Structure 1
């Protein structure tokens, strides 16, 4: 026990870093256990889109959406999602894939849609950056808005 205390005293920065990383890992584990939506990769999103009637909701800002998006994606900026969720109400029982730029806004959007009664919500991990990194196609056409 005294050797452990001596080690911690001599290497307090490493011990502090270990504590921070441990807390963050536990937080991530608890969050993943209690979230009500599923997370999938771009490849998983393509598979789901090819097998079921799936809606892709892009929650990025208009300028980001205009730079390129998934073909057929429905654009609702995150700040307007709660008030505009009724526009996609016909998908409450169908798969809805939510994407953003990097995957940081999607979890909030998934929580909002879950609260609105959507039952099959999927968060695309990594957002459009991961989609492009996987070399999947993007379009600049505005079909839906």
Structure 2
């Protein structure tokens, strides 16, 4: 171990670009982890969402396009088009203290809606990592149609 520490400055001197890239990646990784620790939005795996459903009966909001929702959604989920998503809506505002889970097809578009919920004062905001694709890949139950 002591030998490695003595050769490290020499290695860094010969491989400046590689060393700089390592430092940049390390800082980016640490920044990402710190940001997730302080985020008010929790990302759930399909198994984590199943546990939350069994434990807390959250409000499930699917912001996928209508066609995707009708092809398959989590049982009990409500469909709200992203263009009509309004955290200040009277029926949604009643759920400010309840757990609210946002779901989309791939898990890529829920972040913006989740931020809007947090900004509106919602305290327990979750997103499904990987969206419906991950839910179906985990072979969990799927409902079809508009309900």
**Same fold flag (TM > 0.5):** yes
Q: How many residues get paired?
A: 143
Structure exhibiting the larger radius of gyration computed from Cα positions: 2
Match in the other structure for 1:48: 52
1:8-87 equivalence runs, <5 A: 8=12, 10-82=14-86, 85-87=89-91
Match in the other structure for 1:100: 104
DSSP-derived class of the 2:85 partner: helix
Gaps of 5+ in 1: none
1:109-128 equivalence runs, <5 A: 109-128=113-132
Describe the shift of the 1:16–1:63 C-alpha distance in structure 2 as closer, same or farther (beyond 3 A): farther
Alignment check: 8 A CA contact 1:85 1:116 kept = no
DSSP-derived class of the 1:140 partner: coil
Note if 1:91 corresponds to 2:95. Answer: yes
Give the Cα–Cα distance (whole angstroms) in 1 for the partners of residues 123 and 68 of structure 2.
27
DSSP-derived class of the 1:121 partner: strand
Match in the other structure for 1:134: 138
Give the Cα–Cα distance (whole angstroms) in 2 for the partners of residues 18 and 108 of structure 1.
31
Q: Tell me the C-alpha RMSD between the 2 structures.
A: 2.6
Give me the TM-score of the superposition, normalised by structure 1: 0.79
DSSP-derived class of the 1:102 partner: coil
